[in-house]
């Protein structure tokens, strides 16, 4: 039970307690403990009231509940207020990964030492996307042209079954912004260009190869 096997459906896949905690904590920061409890109740996650999931890799939150929780953040706060919250959540997730996945990033630092910035970004992005596929059990496809890396997330869960005129998947944008700062010490344009919330077949993101010019 709860073990990920080949052919496991998205409903059976569970994300680690550490990631669930980051989003719960972000919600609590924004609306306090009572707000968080209301949020958990609405998301069908009452079991976590006063009982946060373990701060480690233990598979904890089923994907469908995770997806509903993210959708609920957007529903509850509105797109305008949910955006900074979810961007921040994405950035915190990167910081967490940096501290807790030394094999993913520490080693990459050594191995990419003599690469160009673009080579470095490509190398690290490939590893990160492979890790994300494992973590969330949905395809993350990397392509590129001269100016941008493009990432397609199929069966994207960040938009949480919502409908909007806008792109709604901010957590990975925050994550990749922070990752790009870590790699190049500069800001790069990171944005979602097509979202399932808008009716697209998958969610697509771009990351500029060149840093933004300093303001």
Residue 159 binding Zn ion, by CB under 5 A: yes
| Shortest distance, position 170 Cβ to Zn ion, whole Å | 9
Q: Indicate the angle between helix axes 102-111 and 117-136, nearest 10 degrees.
A: 160
| CA distance linking residue 82 with residue 31, whole number of Å | 12
Window 186-215: residues binding Zn ion (CB under 5 A): 195, 203
Question: Which CB, 97 or 156, lies closer to Zn ion?
Answer: 156
Question: Which CB, 86 or 159, lies closer to Zn ion?
Answer: 159
As a whole number of Å, the end-to-end CA separation of the chain is 52
Are 173 and 190 within 8 A, CB to CB?
A: yes
Structure tokens at 202: 């998958």
Look at the block and give the residue holding tokens 């990351």: 207
| Per-residue mark of binding to Zn ion, 101-140 (x: CB under 5 A) | ----------------------------------------
Question: Which CB, 58 or 163, lies closer to Zn ion?
Answer: 163
The three-class DSSP label of residue 151 is strand
Residue 19 binding Zn ion, by CB under 5 A: no
Question: Which CB, 17 or 160, lies closer to Zn ion?
Answer: 160
CA 166 from centre of chain: 18
Question: Which CB, 61 or 70, lies closer to Zn ion?
Answer: 70
Residue 169 binding Zn ion, by CB under 5 A: yes
- Using a 10 angstrom Cβ sphere, with 0-12 exposed, 13-18 middle and 19 or more buried, the burial of residue 33 is exposed
Residue 82 binding Zn ion, by CB under 5 A: no
Phi, psi of 20 (to 5 degrees): -60, -40
Residue 73 binding Zn ion, by CB under 5 A: no
Residues of the shown chain interacting with Zn ion in the complex, contacts defined by CB under 5 A = 156, 159, 169, 195, 203
């Amino acid at each position: 039970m709860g073990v990920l096997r080949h052919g496991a459906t998205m409903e059976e896949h569970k994300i680690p307690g550490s990631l669930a905690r980051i989003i719960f904590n972000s919600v609590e920061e924004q609306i306090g403990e009572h707000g968080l409890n209301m949020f958990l109740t609405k998301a069908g996650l009452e079991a976590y009231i006063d009982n946060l999931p373990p701060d480690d890799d233990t598979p904890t939150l089923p994907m469908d509940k995770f997806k509903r929780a993210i959708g609920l953040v957007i529903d509850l706060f509105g797109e305008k207020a949910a955006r900074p919250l979810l961007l921040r959540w994405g950035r915190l997730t990167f910081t967490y990964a940096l501290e807790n996945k030394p094999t993913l990033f520490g080693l990459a630092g050594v191995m990419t030492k003599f690469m160009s910035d673009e080579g470095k970004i490509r190398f690290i992005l490939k590893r990160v996307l492979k890790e994300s596929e494992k973590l969330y059990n949905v395809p993350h496809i990397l392509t590129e042209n001269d100016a941008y890396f493009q990432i397609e997330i199929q069966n994207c869960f960040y938009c949480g079954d919502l409908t909007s005129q806008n792109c709604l998947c901010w957590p990975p944008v925050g994550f990749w912004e922070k990752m790009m700062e870590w790699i190049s010490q500069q800001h790069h344009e990171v944005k979602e260009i097509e979202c399932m919330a808008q009716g697209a077949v998958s969610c697509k993101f771009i990351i500029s190869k060149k840093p933004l010019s300093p303001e």
